[in-house]
Amino acid sequence: MAYWLMKSEPAEVSIDDLAARKVVPWFGVRNYQARNFMRDAMQVGDLAFFYHSSCAAPGIAGICEVCAPAHPDDTQFDPASPYFDPKSTPDKPRWLCVDVKFVQKTRLVSLTELRRQPALDTMQLLQRGSRLSITPVSDAEWQFITRELM
């Protein structure tokens, strides 16, 4: 079992949206590293911090669980979607997504608060220039955040 951090713009899918919908496909990832995490490393049952990005109050807003393995991301085939990829075809899909289900909403653990913790110095999210939308979280980082900051 592994831990992850997954960024979502709350204007698109917030933790409240996930709570209401219960399960959502993690559509819209258009970065190969993040895609490969979903395809090669994520397992059903893995837990992830649900992170609000590109918003007024960036930070961890809840916890979700991977509930379906990687499958083609439908939005790549939809010309009306901002995630449309004309170079991808249904028989050879380029972009994949896992499904995640709601586990719980937490208090908002802000990015500045995360940065303040020496215990989280090596967390991938907090590294200089880091902008991957899916990053691994170590056991120690997960335990620290859930026990000390939530």
Q: Which is nearer to DNA, 54 or 104 (CB)?
A: 54
Give CA–CA dist 148/60, Å, rounded.
Answer: 13
Nearer to DNA, 122 or 139 (CB): 122
Distance of CA 117 to the CA centre of its chain: 21
Question: Hey, which residues between 44 and 83 contact DNA (CB under 7 A)?
Answer: 53-55, 58
| Min CB(8)–DNA separation in Å | 9
Q: Are 25 and 75 in contact (CB under 8 A)?
A: no
CB 1 to DNA: min, Å: 24
Segment lying near DNA (by CB under 7 A), choices 41-49, 70-78, 125-133, 136-144: 125-133
Q: What is the DSSP string of 44-105?
A: TT-EEEEEE-SSSS-EEEEEEEEEEEEEE-GGGG-TTSTT--TT-BTTB---EEEEEEEEEE
Measured from the CB of residue 111, what is the shortest distance to DNA in angstroms? 5
* Complex with DNA: residue 67 or 111, whichever CB lies closer: 111
